Structure 1
Amino acid sequence: MPLHKIITHDSATKIYIWKIEESFEDLFDEVVLNDINLIRLNTMKSEMHQRGFLSVRKLLQEAGYSDADLHYDQDGKPHLKPNSQNIEPVEISISHSFEFSTIAISDKPIGIDIELAKEKVLKIASRFMDVSHLKDLSEEEQIRKATVVWGIKESVFKIKNEKGISFPDHIFENTFLLSDKKATAQLSFNNLIESFDIFFEEIDSNNSQNYTLVYAFEN
């Protein structure tokens, strides 16, 4: 079943992960899109992105929502309307990468990212992270850790979603081990320093490719 996993972080926070195995046609037949999102889907040039977009709608269904419950603000941040299960506003974050898509739903601001771990992340690591955090690690461990750090930066940015935030200049990960499965980070921006709790885990796609899931909460 393409619903790969549900992570219950706490009583008010769930992470839904979809493994995208269906064709575009099968996914399209199983969801109902509003007019705006149908136009958005048709403007996507890549079928991979289209399937990722549709699989997110499948995850919304798994969580008891529909495409009609999802809307985006002027900055592109997603929001959910309350449904029969939640009369209070709920927070949502969305990510997809190649074979997987994921959504996080919580009663507090949350940011989520899923990434395929690739060698090229090391070539750009100095552009977004403190590379001293990769010291004394094997190349495989460096790839894995740099992918986590990228996910940390993405997740924190998705919570704040403010123009001008720079990954290397404003978001800072604290020292952590891959075995910790959690970390902390700070956002230093507009004369404010904000702290975030980070959680991460690796997902095996069963074809020798590994993905990293990261999600963050403002502390």
Structure 2
Amino acid sequence: MSFYKSVKINETTELFLWKITEDYNDLYRKVSLKDVSLARLDGMKSETHQNAFLSVRMLLQHCGYTDFDLFYDEFGKPHLQDGKHISISHALGFSAIILSNENVGIDLEQAKEKVLKIASRFMDVSHLENLTEEDQIHKATVIWGIKEAIFKLKNEKGISFPKHIFEAPFELKDKKCTAQLHFNNSVEDFDIAFDLVEDYVFVCAMKKK
């Protein structure tokens, strides 16, 4: 399969998803890579990681960019040469990019039962009370995604998921909520959008205006 779908987050922000069904050779033949990306690709030991890397480049091409338009800063955060904001994520079987006029963070996660085993390490588990096990899995995955997306957006060392990032109460049907980052003696507010795609969860974070 090629391009899967796009999701309009707001007037200047759009998410793009790629469902990875191609093998390495199919993807490799369809992308143009700069030398540093070729070296990075060659250094990957897993074909799963290689395919995720290549499918992100396929998404770039779908959006009118190429690998040559993409670069990473010293902290590993992706940027586009034209100044458009970008965030990238992938999980087994899917890749995602989000493009925006505003600084943005995205996370894509496959919803798995094991998230409940580690939930107490990154969130207030009382937020999972009175839910079915399936909804607990999805909600815990969303909350992990909220924290990951904000972490990617801020891109600052020292941010702790349980100690610094707090989501406001929400229900899965809302598909949106707010969150706060308490860090370096300041509080920042974020708007969160999320949804389920098959058995995956995507989360987008943007600074509240």
**Aligned position for 1:127:** 121
Unpaired runs of 5+ residues, structure 2, are none
Separation in 2, partners of 1:13, 1:122: 31
Matched, 1:194 2:155: no
The one-letter amino acid of 1:115's match is E
Matched, 1:33 2:22: no
Structure 1 length-normalised TM: 0.94
The one-letter amino acid of 1:68's match is F
Matched, 1:45 2:45: yes
Separation in 2, partners of 1:167, 1:13: 25
**Aligned position for 1:172:** 166
Separation in 1, partners of 2:128, 2:142: 11
Separation in 2, partners of 1:166, 1:68: 33
Separation in 1, partners of 2:158, 2:69: 29
The one-letter amino acid of 2:206's match is F
The one-letter amino acid of 2:3's match is L
Paired residues, number: 208
Separation in 2, partners of 1:23, 1:146: 31
**1:1-219 matches, cutoff 5 A:** 1-82=1-82, 89-204=83-198, 210-219=199-208
User: Which moved further from structure 2: 144-153 or 8-17?
Assistant: 8-17
Separation in 1, partners of 2:3, 2:197: 13
Separation in 2, partners of 1:218, 1:12: 14
Structure 2 length-normalised TM: 0.98
Residues 149-204 of structure 1 show CA distances to partners (whole Å, capped at 9, x for unaligned) of 01000100010010000000101111000010001100000001000000000001
Residues 99-130 of structure 1 show CA distances to partners (whole Å, capped at 9, x for unaligned) of 10000000000100110000100000000011
The one-letter amino acid of 1:77's match is K
Separation in 2, partners of 1:8, 1:61: 18
Separation in 2, partners of 1:60, 1:13: 15
Q: Per-residue deviation at 1:10?
A: 2.5
Separation in 2, partners of 1:111, 1:174: 18
Q: CA RMSD in A?
A: 0.7
Q: Per-residue deviation at 1:8?
A: 1.9
Identity %: 58
Separation in 1, partners of 2:8, 2:116: 32
Q: Per-residue deviation at 1:2?
A: 1.9
Runs of 4+ deviating beyond 4 Å = none
Work out whether residues 9 and 193 of structure 2, in 8 Å CA contact, stay in contact via their aligned partners in 1.
Answer: no
The one-letter amino acid of 1:212's match is V
